[in-house]
Amino acid sequence: MTDTTELAGKVAIVTGAGQGMGYAVAHRLAAAGASLVINDVNAAAAVCSAAALRAAGHTALAVPGDVASSEDVRGIVAATLDRYGGIHILINNAGVLRPTAVIDIEEAEWDLVVNVNLKGTYLCSRAVLPAMREAGWGRIVNFSSTAGKNVSTVGGAHYTAAKAGVLGFTRHLAKEAAPYGITVNAVCPGLIDTEMVRATISDEQTSAYAASFPIARLGAPEEVAELVAFLASDRAAYITGASLDINGGDLMI
């Protein structure tokens, strides 16, 4: 049973929370007592996600914005502080996936994928650090991927490169932030059953990939959310700079 008080009094920002894993993470953190800020570049999705949380009796604020824009990120943090007065948890979930082969990747597409997945992680993390330092407590959880440790199952080289970069950024920030009571970790999901995956590959491809995994199915967003909730809690107080796999055994290293 979910502990409804574990994150009581904590304020969490979840980026890309309009659908998929971000949506599941937001609901899991809210169920543990956190007050949520729901971010998504799709304003309607952010509003609907926050409304669903409030309908379930939780506290949630929708703040749309592009995590690859420093101006938007400043606005997200300012709105959070204005509403709640602090920031304790940041989940850098927002991501973009494209399956394009290197020979066909245009510069604009490369920039989009790297900027959202990697630059957005940096911008959001930098923006919340002052509030977390002031609180003397913080949890930053970055979304990498099995792509960050090997190669992407369905994405292109730009996705693989960005997710590998997230792991390097996670380790470095963890070292810098530790003296201030802030932990920084990464989760590395495999193929998870999300709208983004379903929009990228066919049902036949999805089934074929699933059958090839030791645990022969796609992961559920709620399973990833459980791992994130653990890292966001005091139960993970001695874990930092780590990357935790959740992939049904697809990548064993």
Residue 13 pLDDT more than 80?
yes
Within-domain flag for 218: yes
CB under 8 Å to 117, separation ≥6 — which residues?
A: 94, 95, 96, 159, 162, 163, 165, 166
Distance of CA 56 to the CA centre of its chain: 22
On whether the CB atoms of residues 153 and 250 are closer than 8 A, the answer is yes
Domain that holds residue 29: 11-242
Within-domain flag for 6: no
Residue 1 pLDDT more than 70?
no
Within-domain flag for 252: no
Within-domain flag for 2: no
Within-domain flag for 152: yes
The residue among 105, 99, 95, 96 whose CA lies nearest residue 200 is 99
Within-domain flag for 247: no
Give the predicted TM-score (pTM) of the model.
0.95
Which residue among 23, 84, 122, 159 is the active-site one?
A: 159
**Percent of the chain whose pLDDT exceeds 90:** 83
Residue 201 pLDDT more than 70?
yes
Residue 84 among the catalytic residues: no
Within-domain flag for 248: no
CB under 8 Å to 204, separation ≥6 — which residues?
A: none
Residue 252 pLDDT more than 80?
no
CATH number of 95's domain: 3.40.50.720
> Model confidence over 31-71: pLDDT tens digits?
999 999 999 999 999 999 999 999 999 999 999 999 999 99
- Going from the C-alpha of 180 to that of each of 21, 121, 133, 135, 183, the distances in angstroms are 28, 19, 6, 9, 9
The number of domains in the chain is: 1
Within-domain flag for 1: no
Helix (H) or strand (E) holding 91: strand 89-92
Q: 219 phi and psi, to 5 degrees?
A: -75, 160
Residue 3 pLDDT more than 80?
no
Instruction: Write down the pLDDT at residue 62.
Output: 98
What is d(CA 63, CA 77) in angstroms, rounded to the nearest whole number? 9
- Give the mean model confidence (pLDDT) for residues 142-164: 94
Residue 99 pLDDT more than 60?
yes
